[in-house]
Amino acid sequence: MGLAKRIIPCLDVDNGRVVKGVKFVDIRDAGDPVEIARRYDREGADELTFLDITATHDNRETIVHVVEKVASEVFIPLTVGGGIRTLDDIRRMLNAGADKVGINSAAVFNPDFVREAAERFGSQCIVVAIDAKKVAEQRWEIFTHGGRKPTGIDAIEWAQRMVNYGAGEILLTSMDRDGTREGFDLPLTRAISEAVSVPVIASGGVGNLEHLAQGVLQGKADAVLAASIFHFAEYTILEAKQAMAAHGIEVRLA
Amino acid sequence: MSSVAIVDYGMGNLHSIAKALQFADDRTRVMVTADANTILAADRVVFPGVGAMRDCMQALRTLGLDEVLHTVARTKPLLGICLGMQALLTESAENDQVSCLNIVKGQVVRFAADLQDQHGQALKIPHMGWNQVHYESHPLWHNIQQDSRFYFVHSYYVQPQAAGVTIATTQYPEAFTCALAQENVFAVQFHPEKSQVVGLQLLQNFLHWDGLV
């Protein structure tokens, strides 16, 4: 008996539609975000994450409407990320019905933003998203702009600093693995998870259900996030949970 | 038509709880309010909250809602959620010790920093995610299976003085009080409004509960 490891489907939203990951040149349309959110909720998703992949004005409006609609009928935690830069952005998402917001680039450009956000809205709703890339054995660096720009910041130190500033959770994406379907960067996941006191969500690289279990067992992640393997009904959330349970991982089977 | 007032004292987002209550029973009038008279006139009261205890108590006192909640607890069903549950106790260790409402005698304490699970892995604080709720009989658990999972996110938990007040426990890694019941008061550490089917069932049960007076 104890706390379940969470499975979090991520919906990358562009122009009102859920699309396959950012890294794919050939963006495939996976459907209507509200319908997909409903399906994941029925299948037993533990939380949902909406990612605004373009963060343009129009897409922002769309995401707010999607979150409002989903929040009125799906009663599990909802996180919104992508282009969150101001306290007003956060307030807007929370008012639309989001429970947490993911802060990514804005944290790198202005770390105090995380502190202000946590003080104003509480750590429980501040997820700091970290995009890390391997630069040497057991060494990872923070990258911005979808993994194109190095910052010289060490990923482990950064994660610890963000927790000190009030991050309630870390969403960790391996930019080496994102979109590859080769599985999480397990040493990275484990290094970050063991370095911070708050929960860590592993992201980037999931290609099959075995990868999800590895993220928890070897990566020591508290939650695992995946996008494309769920969107095209390759696997259902329930199958993912059953696969994790078969490895002895505690999951919520509704 | 019965009514439920959600106490709005500026601590967190109340949309979720309002939407969930409305979804749980569309014949109930759901009001989000800081107005004492509206709260006192409602059939039932929900007292939610996220954030820090010092801000919470300050906001309640500034708005005069501390007294209102004492009256509510004596006269009608009251559901405390998360920080709203903790604020019902005597005192909290958060923010270097804060005096709370003292509607339920007891303390609010923090999870120890060095907790480990049975495999020796460090446990994360906040306690975040879906954990099992082991309950003793009460009308609010109607149609909810024993040991169902609810969604939690918190770093502090309540320790009521009287053992009989604890109506459910959760393990992290030791058992702590995740729900309490004292006369008209029912309070939960988890978020029923974020706990899918079982959470909605609990809210519906609350909306059909007449308390014990």
- Residue A15 CA: distances (Å) to CA of A32, A45, B24: 10, 24, 32
Asked if the C-beta of B63 comes within 8 angstroms of chain A's C-beta atoms, the answer is no
Q: Hey, are the CB atoms on A6 and B195 less than 8 Å from each other?
A: no
Compute the CA torsion angle A101, A102, A107, A112 (nearest 10 deg).
30
Three-state secondary structure call for residue B32: strand
**Alpha-carbon dihedral sign for residues A106, A108, A110, A111:** positive
Query: Which pLDDT score, from 0 to 100, does residue A36 have?
Result: 94
Q: Hey, are the CB atoms on B193 and A75 less than 8 Å from each other?
A: yes
* Min Cα separation A210/chain B (Å): 21
Query: What is the tens place of the pLDDT at every residue in A52-104?
Result: 988 788 888 889 999 999 999 999 999 999 999 999 999 999 989 999 999 99
Q: Which A-chain residues 126-165 have CB contacts (< 8 A) with chain B?
A: none
B16, B128, B195 ranked by CB distance to A169: nearest: B128
Amino acid identity at A106:
A
Asked if the C-beta of A248 comes within 8 angstroms of chain B's C-beta atoms, the answer is no
Tell me, what's the ipTM? 0.94
Query: Which pLDDT score, from 0 to 100, does residue A64 have?
Result: 93
Q: How far apart are CA A123 and CA A114, in angstroms?
A: 9
What HEC string does chain A produce? CCCCCEEEEEEEEECCEEECCCCCCCCCEEECHHHHHHHHHHHCCCCEEEEECCCCHHHHHHHHHHHHHHHCCCCCCEEEECCCCCHHHHHHHHHHCCCEEEECHHHHHCCHHHHHHHHHHCHHHEEEEEEEEEEECCEEEEEECCCCEEEEEEHHHHHHHHHHCCCCEEEEEECCCCCCCCCCCHHHHHHHHHHCCCCEEEECCCCCHHHHHHHHHCCCCCEEEECHHHHCCCCCHHHHHHHHHHCCCCCCCC
Q: Which residues of A touch B199 (CB under 8 A)?
A: 75
Give the domain B3-207 fold.
Answer: Rossmann fold (3.40.50)
Query: Which pLDDT score, from 0 to 100, does residue A21 have?
Result: 58
Residue stretches of chain B with pLDDT short of 50: none
B67 noted as active-site residue: no
Query: Which pLDDT score, from 0 to 100, does residue B51 have?
Result: 82
Q: Please say if the pLDDT value at position A24 is more than 60.
A: no
Query: Which pLDDT score, from 0 to 100, does residue A225 have?
Result: 97
Query: What is the tens place of the pLDDT at every residue in A171-196?
Result: 999 999 998 999 999 999 999 999 99
How many distinct helices (H) and strands (E) make up chain B? 6, 13
Residue A222: closest CA among chain B residues belongs to which residue? Answer: B124
Query: Which pLDDT score, from 0 to 100, does residue A58 have?
Result: 82
Query: Which pLDDT score, from 0 to 100, does residue A25 have?
Result: 52
Beta bridge partners of A19: A12, A29
Q: Which residues of B touch A99 (CB under 8 A)?
A: 13, 16, 194
pTM of the complete model beyond 0.90: yes
Q: Hey, are the CB atoms on A75 and B196 less than 8 Å from each other?
A: yes
Interior angle at CA B121, CA B118 and CA B125, nearest 5:
105
Asked if the C-beta of B212 comes within 8 angstroms of chain A's C-beta atoms, the answer is no
Amino acid identity at A121:
F
DSSP B190: S
Query: What is the tens place of the pLDDT at every residue in A190-249?
Result: 999 999 999 999 999 999 999 999 999 999 999 999 988 998 778 999 999 999 999 999
Q: How far apart are CA B158 and CA B88, in angstroms?
A: 9
Q: Which residues of A touch B130 (CB under 8 A)?
A: 3-4, 6, 46, 252
Query: Which pLDDT score, from 0 to 100, does residue B82 have?
Result: 95
What is the radius of gyration, based on Cα positions, of chain B? 16
